Structure 1
Amino acid sequence: MDQDTSTPPIEVSLPLQQVLNVWDCIRGNSPIYEFLLGDGLALHGVFSACATDWAGGLAIASCGLESTSVSPNINVNYLFSATPGDWLEIKGYANKFGKTLAFTTIANSKCTISGDITLLAQGSHTKYIKTR
């Protein structure tokens, strides 16, 4: 009897599935995200600002909200640069929700071929939220 050696399906948590659903909805409607986050990315300071907006919105989505509104504040501190061959890791955190605002922080790091991780940019982001 042949044994199935295919990769088992990956279980996706409810918050991750929410993020993936929201990302699928906004991806097709946002040319700037497609340009900056699509294939052929050239890392530039504007990328870190865009990633702060993007990751902050998806961090909010991980808490169950399907959409956000404008950004009254976005701040990025640029610490280091990336070079060809570096892999990027972007982590977004939803820190606090109020009645109309959500506050997030973002860490944009590079992972070199040797396995070193260096923080490239730190972002903070305030978003108006649409409550249900």
Structure 2
Amino acid sequence: MADTSTIAGGDIPPASQTQAEVQDQTTKSSSDSQQPSISLEKETLSFTPSLSTSILLPLTPTTSSALALAHVQRVWDSIRPNSAIYNLLLSDIVLVAAVSHPTGRILAHLTLKPIHLNSKRILHGAVSGTLCDWAGGMAIAASIAGDELKVGEGEQDRQMTTGVSTDMHLSYCSTAREGDTLEVEAWVSRRGRKLGFTGLEIRKRVDGWEKGEKGEVVVVGSHTKYLPFGQKPREAKE
């Protein structure tokens, strides 16, 4: 009787064979193979905000840009008086951090009240949609804060724009209740000539958030905006 068995083309060594013999056979088989060897080298991650914020440095008050945060706050202050829905649902939202580079990003906090809840006393989906709409615009504002703007007619309007919504998607991952504080992070994946693409993550705020600690994800989303002023302008020619 043969002392090896074959399953799916592979030999199974007999139980009496030692580990050293098995290793020797494996090494010999590998050296005889005509398949090219594969070299696994450490890859360097490039910045791809459309995939996830996990490859970015944590956005915290320490890493925030004072210039970007001030600009986003100014844009928000100009929008709020003219939006009944924002005043109703987001009157207590607090911008805590923003950066313009390598892309526009914002971080904000909102503590949930009864007005934010549905009949089951959990976060209403419409509130999540409002947050996605708002945060995408604020991320666009943060990216514009980093532009080298020309002095000229229309530049003030372009500085204050957040674009017009053309598409929005939400995925509800978990939920939150009254008293929970949501951490809303949004970023610009790409700004083209006429469209801006943004991503969103809504999480439960946890202790250590100011050091970059992240809580349970409640909602993830994407928001596309039409940009009437287009992409970053080229430097003015002399």
Q: Normalised by the size of structure 2, how large is the TM-score?
A: 0.47
- Paired residue total: 121
The worse-fitting range, judged by mean Cα deviation, of 97-106 and 79-88 is: 79-88
Higher relative contact order (CA 8 A, sep 6+): 1
- The AA in structure 2 aligned to 1:94 is V
Deviations 1:38-69 (A, max 9, x none): 25442310011110010000000001242133
Does the Cα contact within 8 Å between 1:74 and 1:123 map onto a contact in 2? yes
2:161 partner SS: coil
Does the Cα contact within 8 Å between 1:89 and 1:110 map onto a contact in 2? yes
The Cα of 1:12 is off from its aligned counterpart by: 6.2
Corresponding position of 2:185:
91
Q: Which of 68, 73, 82 does residue 29 from structure 1 map onto? A: 82
Corresponding position of 1:20:
73
Residue correspondence of structure 1 range 64-103 to structure 2 within 5 A? 64=144, 65-103=159-197
The Cα of 1:85 is off from its aligned counterpart by: 2.8
The structure richer in strand per residue is: 1
Deviations 1:52-111 (A, max 9, x none): 010000000001242133211100101111022311100010110000000000101113
Does the Cα contact within 8 Å between 1:52 and 1:125 map onto a contact in 2? yes
Corresponding position of 1:111:
205
Corresponding position of 1:55:
135
Q: How many Å separate the matches in 2 of 1:63 and 1:70?
A: 15
Q: Which of 99, 106, 121 does residue 219 from structure 2 map onto? A: 121
1:130 corresponds to 2:200 = no
Structure 1 regions of 5+ residues with no counterpart?
1-10
Structure 2 regions of 5+ residues with no counterpart?
1-63, 93-112, 117-122, 145-158, 231-238
1:45 corresponds to 2:128 = no
The worse-fitting range, judged by mean Cα deviation, of 38-47 and 57-66 is: 38-47
- The AA in structure 2 aligned to 1:81 is T
Q: Normalised by the size of structure 1, how large is the TM-score?
A: 0.82
Larger radius of gyration: 2
2:165 partner SS: coil
Does the Cα contact within 8 Å between 1:86 and 1:112 map onto a contact in 2? no
Q: Structure 1 segments of 4 or more deviating over 2 A? A: 38-41
